[in-house]
Structure 1
Amino acid sequence: MAARPLMPTARRPRPGFGLLGPRRGRHELLPEQFDALELPVGDDGVVIGADPNGTPAVLGIGRPAPYEIVLVGGAWTAQVIALRAVATGARVAVETGRRELWTPLAQAANSGQQSITLHDVGRVPPQGPSVHSPVLVVRDCGVRPPRGRAGAAPWQAVLTLLPYPGPTTPRLLSGADLVGVQRVSPDEARGMGRSMGLPPDDVETLSTLPDGVTLWCTRTARTYVATTPTEPETGLLGAARRME
């Protein structure tokens, strides 16, 4: 008797494509539940700390327009910002007369690529910023920084670090898009208050700020931000401090 050819086994059709996944409830909300849905929305950028409510404070350095930042404070905070900027994919160029202060940071960040480059004062070459490769230029050039060759440009923000207010500070503040102020003397606080239009309470607070706390402000808004280092940042930079 001749063998019968094998016929394919009939399979029950299954809806959809691919493997059947786990059974879970659908991600749906009723219209009356919409008010309970909250999403934190803000600029993409570098998380530089938390505000008094514990909300992450984000510094958006990758912008399609020039962005000027002035920080009257310590190098520690500028270094934390530089390190976190690298973590977001930005390149950092540091213009400084204190190479010994920035060299350990650059060596730690440059694992396999030049993420942080150090340059003498007035010697920063063109950085070629782009939407895919934003740049942060940190100018650590003392209390009277000369005019820089690498200025703010699309996708290139400039952070000018001032250890304390000086003769050129009012000019720098007037051209800044964002100003950060750490602990200063009462007289310096009054000068910063006049330049930035700060209310008396903030002027008084500036001379008592703890290490790691910065008042970030514009002409129309301000907030205090506490920068807490991560464990690797503490191992590299040490604890928060106002002065080196």
Structure 2
Amino acid sequence: MNAGTPVNATPRPRLGFGLLGPRRGRHELSPEQFDALALPVGDDGVVIGSDAQGAPAVLGLARPSAFDVVLVGGAWTAQVLALRAVGTGARVAVETGRRQLWSTLAQSANSGRQCVTLHDVGRVPPQGPSAHSPVLLVRDCGARPPRGRVGAAPWQSVLTLLPYLGPTTPRLMERADLVGVQRVAPEEALLVGRTMNLPADDVEALSALPDGVTLWCTPSARTYVTTRPTEPETGLLGAARRME
């Protein structure tokens, strides 16, 4: 041991960010084994848009541990995320008091199999998530959602959609693993900034974000993501918008 090395030194934590797909242990193969490789290589997750450098932003929703996401924003973004989650093989359960807002999406996504189900608020049954059948639960229950019967669990992520800040929003954000914020009023931006430990520049930017842009953050990391719909998504959901 070197004289200058502290006895109880611990490695510095590697700053991570929730937008990247879940990390697995690294595996190595010899060149002769590549022909037998049948699984895709790389991060798994939902491409939710592009970051400020134009690189794809991937949100890993299928995780072996519980994962809670809070989105203060529009239903349009939540619907795009739900559609793209279905595209990765996940089942989506939507708990909503606005069934008519989600019915067209559910009908379109369920054309081949039952992968999107709609439920009244407080009436979501157990979903039976597994590694082979992960679940995304979208809670569209207003600015003050009641306690859910079904919560985050291994292979079952929860996305709580808040159209604007309510009295329970700070508590929900503090408990979430990841928070997304779209355009909010200046006084709401101040509350988000205090809760999520945002710098002044980001607090100021929140009240002027364009449609389709989300600040995804944790108390220690943040990035802006622009979600652009594909042609089929535009045909089904229309253009990006903050409010319905």
Question: Which interval holds the TM-score relative to the shorter structure?
Answer: 0.7 to 0.9
Match of 2:174 in 1: 174
Match of 1:201 in 2: 201
Match of 2:81 in 1: 81
Match of 1:93 in 2: 93
Question: Partners of 1:57 and 1:102 in 2: how far apart?
Answer: 25
Deviations 1:175-229 (A, max 9, x none): 1000000000000000000000000000000000000000000111100000000
Question: Partners of 1:105 and 1:111 in 2: how far apart?
Answer: 10
> What letter corresponds to residue 72 of structure 2 in structure 1?
V
Task: Tell me the secondary structure at the aligned position of residue 187 of structure 1.
Answer: helix
Question: Partners of 1:107 and 1:117 in 2: how far apart?
Answer: 9
Question: Partners of 2:165 and 2:193 in 1: how far apart?
Answer: 12
- Point out where structure 2 has 5 or more consecutive residues left out of the alignment: 1-30, 32-40
Match of 1:124 in 2: 124
Determine whether 1:211 maps to 2:211.
Answer: yes
Contact 1:73 1:182 in 2 (8 A): yes
Shift of residue 160, structure 1, vs aligned partner = 0.1
Task: Tell me the secondary structure at the aligned position of residue 172 of structure 1.
Answer: helix
Match of 1:106 in 2: 106
TM-score normalised by structure 2 residue count: 0.83
Question: Partners of 2:243 and 2:43 in 1: how far apart?
Answer: 30
Determine whether 1:235 maps to 2:207.
Answer: no
- Point out where structure 1 has 5 or more consecutive residues left out of the alignment: 1-27, 29-40
Count of residue pairs the alignment pairs up: 205
With over 3 angstroms needed to count, the CA separation of the structure-2 counterparts of 1:85 and 1:135, relative to structure 1, is: same
With over 3 angstroms needed to count, the CA separation of the structure-2 counterparts of 1:228 and 1:205, relative to structure 1, is: same
Deviations 1:50-71 (A, max 9, x none): 0010000001000000000000
Task: Tell me the secondary structure at the aligned position of residue 71 of structure 1.
Answer: strand
Contact 1:43 1:59 in 2 (8 A): no
Match of 1:61 in 2: 61
Larger Rg: 1
Question: Partners of 1:209 and 1:180 in 2: how far apart?
Answer: 12
Task: Tell me the secondary structure at the aligned position of residue 187 of structure 2.
Answer: helix
Shift of residue 42, structure 1, vs aligned partner = 6.4
> What letter corresponds to residue 231 of structure 1 in structure 2?
E
Contact 1:69 1:159 in 2 (8 A): yes
Match of 1:34 in 2: none
Q: Once superposed, what is the RMSD of the aligned Cα atoms?
A: 1.1
Shift of residue 43, structure 1, vs aligned partner = 3.6
Runs of 4 or more, structure 1, over 2 Å off, are none
